[in-house]
Structure 1
Amino acid sequence: MAPYPTTVYNPSSLAGHWTWSDNFFGRGIMLFYVFTEVAEATHDFWFSNKTYADIDATSDLVFGDGTFPMSKINEDEWDRVNSYVLRRIVYGDGTPHPVFWPKFLDWYKSTFPGLGIAVMSSNNDCIRRCQYLAPCAVCQPLCGVA
């Protein structure tokens, strides 16, 4: 919302806020992020106006200090210019989008047959790192509550 320019600090690294395919590649990306970012890290959107934003790279190690442009298509879609279209599949209250959620499920099932979706399950950075090295029975006493 106005006034512009404005910044939105998106907590996309928190538990349940981002997904990956539950395979070697997806788990590898998750492993990378738990050892290079903290759970409270934000994914910052720098809005010039209500229809255009530059997004900070999620990882300086991979993307440098770059930003990426996004422009609004409609209320449910944004064009990550020259890359992909970001579509709302779930509303903020957790209800599925009537058009894009079913399309997402169809795409996911055909792209990753038989695989689930992986998410970060904790905002505790110690738990997030420890789970790659040891079972929960070791991590929880060491790190505290998930």
Structure 2
Amino acid sequence: MRSLVKLQYMLAGVAAARECGVATYTAEQVIPSTAIMDGLTPPVVVGDASNLLSPPVLDLGGVWWIRYQPLDDSERGDLSWENPAVKLYAHGAFEELMTFADASSNSSTLPAEIGLAYNRMHHWAYTDTFNSYAGRIFNAADEVDTPIHMTFGNATHGMLRATSPDDQWLITKLDKDRWRRDTVFAADGPVGGARVSYILTRVVREDGSPHPTYFEAFTSYMGARQLRVHATDNVCLRRCGAWAPELTCQVPQLCDMWCELSGTWCA
């Protein structure tokens, strides 16, 4: 397992050295004031009163950790932490942070339909593992404003539009700073009604300050890993940048030429 991890980091390092349109951050730089002090744009936009269109009662401000590992015994319950697929996904550190900033909403009260534009720059954070690099390439196939559709009937329960009509994607409020996301697969599907869960955990509060408990847990979990985020909404760099020579990032004409040559991705 350790050799596999080393190989992932080596491959990710090779990829990162030539990847266009992506910025790298430490876990500590998730706090906006820290990133700004270091001369950087904060990695993930903090959801606050200026950009949150969702009903205020949902309290979706801040930055949220997509957490696939329990922090203590009280969280184990009926969650699928020991599911092999969950453990593999968590080990690969595919995606770590997200924000509800700039999500659209058809109402300021409940019930409400919310469209989460997860693919915009500085709205979703990945890591420097090779698995995460591959995931960013996969998501580059989506348009920047492709939304995740969410329906909230009340302040504690919601549902996401699943990729399969036979599956259920549920979201349930545990407390002020935690939401449980359950994916329940169809009973007659290939995984026979399996449940895969994670906990959305607020690590940065709406005012940009670190959560007193969960931010430290997040930085401890990240260790030496770094965060990587889309730093541009340019379609060319999103879809072709990871495969293009690094020089294309520095010369716009070369970027345009590369996009024309790789028309399948950039059409």
TM-score bracket, shorter-length normalisation: 0.7 to 0.9
The answer on whether the counterparts of 1:122 and 1:128 sit within 8 Å (CA) in structure 2 is: yes
Could you tell me which amino acid in structure 2 is paired with residue 126 of structure 1? Answer: C
Q: Secondary structure at the match of 2:152?
A: strand
User: Given the alignment of the two structures, is residue 118 of structure 1 paired with residue 228 of structure 2, yes or no?
Assistant: yes
Q: TM-score w.r.t. structure 1 length? A: 0.79
**Cα distance change, pair 136–92 in 1 and its aligned pair in 2 (3 A):** farther
Q: What residue in structure 1 maps to residue 147 of structure 2?
A: 42
1:20-59 deviation line (CA, Å, top 9, x unaligned): 2211100000000102x111111221101111110134xx
CA distance in 1, matches of 2:240, 2:208: 29
Q: What residue in structure 1 maps to residue 132 of structure 2?
A: 26
**Cα offset, 1:136, TM superposition:** 4.6
Q: Secondary structure at the match of 1:49?
A: coil
CA distance in 2, matches of 1:93, 1:124: 29
CA distance in 2, matches of 1:38, 1:92: 27
Q: TM-score w.r.t. structure 2 length? A: 0.46
User: Given the alignment of the two structures, is residue 106 of structure 1 paired with residue 220 of structure 2, yes or no?
Assistant: yes
Q: What residue in structure 2 maps to residue 79 of structure 1?
A: 180
The answer on whether the counterparts of 1:4 and 1:47 sit within 8 Å (CA) in structure 2 is: yes
User: Given the alignment of the two structures, is residue 6 of structure 1 paired with residue 108 of structure 2, yes or no?
Assistant: no
Q: Secondary structure at the match of 1:89?
A: strand
The answer on whether the counterparts of 1:77 and 1:88 sit within 8 Å (CA) in structure 2 is: yes
Identity fraction in percent = 26
User: Given the alignment of the two structures, is residue 94 of structure 1 paired with residue 208 of structure 2, yes or no?
Assistant: yes
Q: Secondary structure at the match of 2:158?
A: strand
Number of residue-to-residue matches in the alignment? 133
The answer on whether the counterparts of 1:40 and 1:123 sit within 8 Å (CA) in structure 2 is: no
User: Given the alignment of the two structures, is residue 55 of structure 1 paired with residue 160 of structure 2, yes or no?
Assistant: yes
CA distance in 2, matches of 1:40, 1:93: 26
Cα RMSD of the aligned pairs, angstroms, is: 2.0
CA distance in 2, matches of 1:92, 1:134: 37
CA distance in 1, matches of 2:245, 2:204: 32
